[in-house]
Structure 1
Amino acid sequence: MSAYGTVRGAVLAPGDDGYDAERTGFQTADPHRPEAIVVAEDAGDVRAAVEHAAARGMPVAVQSTGHGLPLPAGGGLLIATRTMTGVEIDPEARTARIEAGVRWARVVAAAAPHGLAPLSGSSPGVGAVSYTLGGGIGLMSRRYGFAADHVRSVDVVTADARLRHVTPESDPDLFWALLGGRANFGVVTALEIGLLPVGRLYGGGLYFDADLIPEVMDTWRRWTETVPDEMTSSVALMPVPDVPVFPEPLRGRHVAHVRIAYTGDEAEGERLIAPLRAVGPRLVDTVGEMPYTDSGLIHNEPPVPMAYRATNVAVGDLDGALVRDLLGLAGPGAPDRAIVEVRHLGGAMAKPPAVPNAVGNRDAGYLVGLLSKLGTDDTGAGALHDRFGGLLAARSRGQVLNFLFGANATPERVRAAYEPETYRRLAELKARYDPANLFRLNHNIPPAR
């Protein structure tokens, strides 16, 4: 028996074959550098790893796909869950049981034959469990709310190395804290989530050239004030590299990419987006009827791992002055190359869920994000993100946890992802369930004193 007891999966130390590959996720900047990695095969492995770490006072980090790494872990124990990929669909109950390493693409594919879909996000390659624990703003969230609002039960290993099956009835406090508290309260090994009766969408992308970007932004801003909750959309300003991986009409251009996901019928969708198409010619227009299994094509995010820095600010509204400021910061002709995305929130996301959870800042109308691809010299990226934060400081309604990565996942920004009363309650529950702050290599909420 190894030092990790009954662990069936690999246990890796620095220098071992597979150590570097296992610690590096989709986000390749500043990967974890743990003392050891347990590649968990099941909940029993997770429980044994937590027991080992707790007995030695080793802090614990968790990683499935590594899309949204917070500050990297130096030392401690990393539990990698990527091999835990079980998915079970119950078409009668309209639920799915998903294990900790499952990506959304697997859930979407398993649910589709039953005419069902999860409240998945823009990228099918993202880990479904970590996304949901952080709230989860999905392609249909204005219609159906946050992904966390649709969780039925949680299987989690807490700091006492106990595997618990948590429901709103069995432990309402822990259930509330897990959904929105992300990795602060234990290692989640599986979720049971509700599925939606959705088999298709009216969706896709409208791509406009640089000269139309100001009008696109102003039109989209005013248009979002009129659309029904069935319409979820965003717009991204992107400098597209001149490389073959991108469609030829977009290469080397600074474009506005309007992303559309509408759960109503095609004819009404066509009518609703007519004002956007009327702005002018599109470089590419992919909006139309699609099966939900193709929904990843709406944002069409690159599946290749990379180093990036990203942050976000939730705001109440979007006016012309803010749009002009964003164009000056990272629009066509701006000195820094970065992606600015504005997501339309509201709708069902602004309403209390049927079962309460800790997801914060539901009153925001828009989420403004900035993403910079990192290279050999990242000084400019840091300065750009500082300017972005200063630009939106006076308008901020807080942060969204799932979009806080790397150096931007500071304690102050994590706190800003919640209303003060929610954060206070989370800290008190942290003191109950993890008083030693074993789970601190994350978007950490320290236990109340």
Structure 2
Amino acid sequence: MTTAETLVLRPGDAGYDDETTGFQTGFALRPDVVFTASGPDDVVAAVAHAAAAGLPVGVQATGHGLPDSAEGGVLVSTRRMDTVTVDPVARTARIGAGARWGAVAEAAAPHGLAPLNGSAPSVGAVGYTLGGGLGILAREFGYTADHVRSVDVVTADAVLRHVTADSDPGLFHGLLGGGANLGVVTAIEVGLVPVTRLYGGSLGYDGRVTGPAGIVREYTRWAATVPDTLTSSLAALVYPDLPSMPPHLRGTYLVSVRIAFTGGAEEGERLVAPLRAALGPALSDTVREMPYGDSHTIHSDPDFPHPYYGDSVFLDALDLGGVTELFTACGPGADGMHVVQLNHLGGALARPAPNAVPYRDAAWLVRILSPLGEGGRDAARAHHARAFGAVSGQVMGRSLNFAFGGADRPEGLYDAGTRKRLADLKAAYDPANLFRRNYNV
């Protein structure tokens, strides 16, 4: 067990800055004390300390989804709790709070299995799943939260609980989709899927030549025809014209269709052929058969820490003109760099499950992520408001997984019924609102 001297860090201590700095560098954490947890006992100690002192608790594994800057309180750093254990017979993985999706995929692959991870292998698996988990195979298998078998969590009374749908259906429901509101999760057990390979990749087009309107039209028309075994999205960004960028990307307005299909390559080619014909010659084409371990290359998300602000909206239907206007607002004429992505939903995502993941009947999700420049969060938020205004008539709510840096505005993250149920659980399990360094209910 870790000693108190090595467990607790305070401002000025060696290692304090390493524990408080994560992937998201746009928002600063300056807690009064950091508990560098190596196991559940350390988490229990951290929560007991916070409860006794009346201090708010935050949690950080990788720091991708940092909700905001924060001063004071207790930070539980779970990055050392990164054990992954696969049971190939049960087709499950037990995942520690600090494990990243890349490690889970690597552990599952020798058994012919795969996790329902997102697009970036460096993202923490547990935090991602507690927010729902919209993965690269989402239309076929649903949200990652739908496949969780159990959750180990330390609640505000500093008790470690092993929670299942049978042992405590209410708490189990709220933990999956409720984020960090109800405790500090130390591990989850999640189901794996028998997937070893994919047909997938990215089709990239020069948006200055083709124009976003035609690409959005043809992509959404095509997406309506594909089976649930094909998950896709449309993304666009203007690469900065900087010497540090690869020459072929500098200043390029790249509009890309991302594809992941679990069927055979021949069937995949047949499904994608109408889209290729409609959009014409691609600037880049990486669509191919690949081992599941290469699935992160479909999106090729950046793997280096940087500052950003992000938000999203679920849409109940597609207004082609509105979505096109949104893409245009984030294109070459925008006031900065903005990455916009349109995710095709439906399929297994629409199936009910015993958790708090909302808006299952949404048809699309639109996400905007903006690297923070001189104007900071205020400028990015103002731009998002203008862009999302183009689709306001179809908005159902927002996604917890894709809210980056907006903890001061939690509205819309849940429908009214789900929010009420979470608030009731909060009152029962955390009446003092100890766990409030998050998108608080």
What is the aligned partner in structure 1 of residue 99 from structure 2? 102
User: 1:444 and 1:329, CA in 2 relative to 1: closer, same or farther beyond 3 A?
Assistant: same
| Deviations, residues 132-159 of structure 1 (Å, cap 9, x unaligned) | 0110000001000000000000111000
| 1:186 CA drift (Å) | 0.5
The counterpart of 1:432, out of the listed 419, 423, 428, is: 428
What is the aligned partner in structure 1 of residue 237 from structure 2? 238
Do residues 54 (structure 1) and 51 (structure 2) align? yes
Distance in 1 (CA, whole Å) between partners of 2:403 and 2:417 is 21
What is the aligned partner in structure 2 of residue 420 from structure 1? 416
Distance in 1 (CA, whole Å) between partners of 2:8 and 2:297 is 37
Q: Map of 1:23-422 to 2, 5 A cutoff?
A: 23-210=20-207, 211-212=209-210, 213-242=212-241, 248-278=247-277, 279-353=279-353, 356-378=354-376, 379-406=378-405, 408-413=406-411, 416-422=412-418
| 1:246 CA drift (Å) | 5.4
| 1:335 CA drift (Å) | 4.1
3-state SS of 1:341 partner? strand
| 1:376 CA drift (Å) | 3.1
| 1:248 CA drift (Å) | 4.2
Distance in 2 (CA, whole Å) between partners of 1:235 and 1:255 is 11
Contact 2:323/2:390 (<8 A) preserved: no
Structure 1 counterpart of 2:109, one-letter code: A
| Deviations, residues 144-200 of structure 1 (Å, cap 9, x unaligned) | 000000000011100000011111111111111100111111000000000000001
Contact 1:336/1:384 (<8 A) preserved: no
The alignment's TM-score, normalised by the length of structure 1, stands at 0.94
Contact 2:199/2:260 (<8 A) preserved: yes
Distance in 2 (CA, whole Å) between partners of 1:390 and 1:323 is 10
Query: Can you give the 5+ residue segments of structure 1 that lack an aligned partner in the other structure?
Result: none
Contact 1:216/1:276 (<8 A) preserved: no
Distance in 2 (CA, whole Å) between partners of 1:21 and 1:312 is 30
3-state SS of 1:249 partner? coil
3-state SS of 2:190 partner? strand
3-state SS of 1:180 partner? coil
Structure 1 counterpart of 2:330, one-letter code: A
Moved more, 250-259 or 145-154: 250-259
3-state SS of 1:228 partner? coil
| 1:9 CA drift (Å) | 4.7
Moved more, 245-254 or 24-33: 245-254
Contact 2:339/2:369 (<8 A) preserved: yes
Distance in 1 (CA, whole Å) between partners of 2:100 and 2:48 is 27
3-state SS of 1:148 partner? helix
3-state SS of 1:152 partner? strand
User: 1:245 and 1:226, CA in 2 relative to 1: closer, same or farther beyond 3 A?
Assistant: farther
Moved more, 238-247 or 222-231: 238-247
Contact 1:249/1:283 (<8 A) preserved: no
Distance in 2 (CA, whole Å) between partners of 1:441 and 1:318 is 34
Distance in 2 (CA, whole Å) between partners of 1:287 and 1:248 is 22
Q: Tell me the number of residue pairs that the alignment of Structure 1 and Structure 2 aligns.
A: 437
Contact 2:216/2:324 (<8 A) preserved: no
| 1:381 CA drift (Å) | 2.2
3-state SS of 2:70 partner? coil
Contact 2:196/2:291 (<8 A) preserved: yes
User: 1:388 and 1:333, CA in 2 relative to 1: closer, same or farther beyond 3 A?
Assistant: closer
Structure 2 counterpart of 1:230, one-letter code: T
Distance in 1 (CA, whole Å) between partners of 2:243 and 2:294 is 22
Contact 1:38/1:79 (<8 A) preserved: yes
Distance in 1 (CA, whole Å) between partners of 2:234 and 2:243 is 23
Distance in 1 (CA, whole Å) between partners of 2:144 and 2:125 is 9
The alignment's TM-score, normalised by the length of structure 2, stands at 0.95
Query: Can you give the 5+ residue segments of structure 2 that lack an aligned partner in the other structure?
Result: none
Distance in 1 (CA, whole Å) between partners of 2:5 and 2:174 is 30
3-state SS of 1:189 partner? strand
User: 1:417 and 1:437, CA in 2 relative to 1: closer, same or farther beyond 3 A?
Assistant: same
3-state SS of 1:391 partner? helix
Distance in 1 (CA, whole Å) between partners of 2:99 and 2:334 is 39
Distance in 2 (CA, whole Å) between partners of 1:291 and 1:72 is 39
| Deviations, residues 364-400 of structure 1 (Å, cap 9, x unaligned) | 1111111111123325323212213433333211011
Structure 2 counterpart of 1:419, one-letter code: D
Moved more, 298-307 or 315-324: 315-324
Contact 1:103/1:126 (<8 A) preserved: yes
User: 1:73 and 1:335, CA in 2 relative to 1: closer, same or farther beyond 3 A?
Assistant: closer
Distance in 1 (CA, whole Å) between partners of 2:339 and 2:90 is 40
Structure 1 counterpart of 2:228, one-letter code: D
Contact 2:81/2:98 (<8 A) preserved: yes
What is the aligned partner in structure 1 of residue 440 from structure 2? 444
Moved more, 244-253 or 266-275: 244-253
Distance in 2 (CA, whole Å) between partners of 1:359 and 1:244 is 42
User: 1:442 and 1:14, CA in 2 relative to 1: closer, same or farther beyond 3 A?
Assistant: same
User: 1:286 and 1:243, CA in 2 relative to 1: closer, same or farther beyond 3 A?
Assistant: farther
Distance in 2 (CA, whole Å) between partners of 1:366 and 1:133 is 21
